[in-house]
Amino acid sequence: MRWGWFLLLLGPSVLTLLLLVAIWGLSLGQLEQERQLALGAARQQNETLAHIVAANLEQVLTRPHLYADRAAELLDQGPGAGVALRAALAGDGAYLRLAVLNGAGRVQFASSPLAQGLAHQELPPAGSDLGLGQPSGRGEEAWLLPLALALRSPAGREGQLVMLLDLGYFLRLYQGAGLGARHIGIFRQGGTRLVEADDLSISLGGPAAGETEAQLRVSKSLARFPLVVEISQSQASVLQGLAPSRQRHLLWAWGLTLLLLAAGTALTLLARRQRALYRRVLCSETEKESLIQQLETEKGQAYQLASHDHLTGLPNRMLFSELSASHLSGSRRGRHLHALVFLDLDHFKAVNDQLGHRIGDQLLQTVAQRLRAVLRDSDLVSRQGGDEFVLLINELASAEDAARVAAKIIQAVGAPCQLEGHELVVRPSLGLALAPRDGQDLNTLMAHADAAMYAAKSAGRGTFRFFDGALNGIPVRQDELARDLEPALEAGGLQLHYQLQHSLDDLQPMGLEALVRWPHPGHGLIYPKDILPLARELGLLPRLDRWVLAEVCRLLGQWRAEGRHLLPIAINLAPETLADPAFPAAVQEQLARQGLSAALLGLEIPADWLPGADPGALERLQALAHLGVSLRVDGFGRSQTGFQQLRALPLKWLKVEPSCIGEGEGGKGAGGTAGFIITLAHVQGFRVLVTGVETPEQLVQLKASGADGAQGYHLQRPLPAGEVVALLERRLGVHGRD
Partner 1 sequence: MGRICCLLLAFLLLGGCASVGAQCENPARLRFSLVPQGDAGRDLSAYRPLVAAIEARLGKPVELLQPQSYGSVVEGLAASTIDFAVLGPASYLKARGANPEVQVFASYAKRAGPFQEQGPYYRALLVVPAASRHRSLESLQGGTLALTDPGSTSGAVLPRRVFPALTGRSLDGFFGRIVYVGDHDRAGLAVAAGKVDAAFLSGFHLSELVRQGRIEADSVRVLWRSEPIPQDAIVYRGRLCAPIREGIRAVFLARDGQAFPGLLEQQGSLAFVPMEDGAYRILRELQ
Shortest CB 216 distance to partner 1, Å: 20
* Choice between 169 and 643, CB closer to partner 1: 169
* Contact positions vs partner 1 (CB under 8 A): 59, 63, 66, 70, 80, 83-84, 86-94, 96-97, 111-115, 137-144, 166, 168-169, 171-172, 175, 200-204, 206, 209
CB neighbours of residue 428 within 10 Å: 28
How far CA 384 is from CA of 19, 344, 374, in Å, comes to 81, 10, 19
Cα 81 to Cα 677: distance, rounded to the nearest angstrom: 194
Backbone phi and psi for residue 160, each to the nearest 5 degrees, phi listed first:
-145, 150
CB 376 within 8 A of CB 404: no
Query: With respect to partner 1, which residue has the nearer C-beta, 85 or 449?
Result: 85
| SS3 track for 381-413 | EEEEECCEEEEEEEEECCHHHHHHHHHHHHHHH
Instruction: Kindly tell me which of 167 and 380 has the beta carbon lying closer to partner 1.
Output: 167
Rounded to the nearest whole angstrom, what is the least distance from the CB of residue 229 to partner 1 in the complex?
19
- The nearest distance, CB 31 to partner 1, in angstroms, is 29
Cβ nearer to partner 1, comparing 94 with 381 = 94
Question: In 59-213, at which residue ranges do the beta strands (DSSP E only) sit?
Answer: 95-102, 107-110, 131-132, 144-152, 158-166, 183-188, 193-198, 202-204
Other Cβ atoms closer than 10 A to 465? 25
Distance CA 397, CA 572 (A): 42
Q: Measuring CA to CA, how many Å separate 323 from each of 303, 328, 450?
A: 14, 9, 19
Say how many CA atoms lie within 13 Å of 101 toward its Cβ.
22
- C-alpha angle 605/607/609, rounded to 5°? 80
Closest to partner 1 by CB, 146 vs 662, is: 146
Name which of 175 and 411 has its Cβ closer to partner 1.
Answer: 175
DSSP state of 179: -
Least distance to partner 1, CB of residue 250, Å:
28
Q: How far apart are the first and last CA of the chain?
A: 101
- Measured from the CB atom, is 120 or 138 closer to partner 1? 138
Nearest residue (CB) to partner 1, 67 versus 342:
67
The DSSP secondary structure of 254-296, one letter per residue, reads: HHHHHHHHHHHHHHHHHHHHHHHHHHHHHHHHHHHHHHHHHHH
Residue 261 C-beta: closest distance to partner 1, Å: 40
Of 4 and 113, CB closest to partner 1: 113
- The rounded distance, in Å, linking the Cα atoms of 688 and 502 is 11
CB of 226 to partner 1, least distance (A): 22
Tell which residue, 478, 304, 487, 515, has the closest CA to residue 403: 478
Q: How far is the CB of 185 from partner 1 (least distance, A)?
A: 13
Q: How far is the CB of 59 from partner 1 (least distance, A)?
A: 8
Smallest distance, partner 1 to C-beta of residue 221, A: 22
Amino acid at 77: Q
Closest CB 213 distance from partner 1, rounded Å: 16
Taking the least distance from each CB to partner 1, the nearer of 63 and 546 is: 63
Taking the least distance from each CB to partner 1, the nearer of 202 and 391 is 202
Under DSSP, the state recorded for 130 is P
Could you tell me the smallest distance in angstroms from the CB atom of residue 165 to partner 1? 11
Q: DSSP alpha helices (H): ranges in 605-720?
A: 615-627, 643-647, 667-683, 696-704
Q: Which is nearer to partner 1, 145 or 603 (CB)?
A: 145
d(CA 271, CA 252): 28
Compute φ and ψ for 300, nearest 5 degrees: -60, -45
Residue 56 or residue 495: which is nearer to partner 1 going by CB?
56
Q: Could you tell me the smallest distance in angstroms from the CB atom of residue 131 to partner 1? A: 21
Tell me how far apart the alpha carbons of residues 713 and 721 are, in angstroms, rounded to a whole number.
17
Among 530, 628, 621, which residue's Cα sits nearest to residue 581?
A: 621
Q: How far is the CB of 86 from partner 1 (least distance, A)?
A: 6
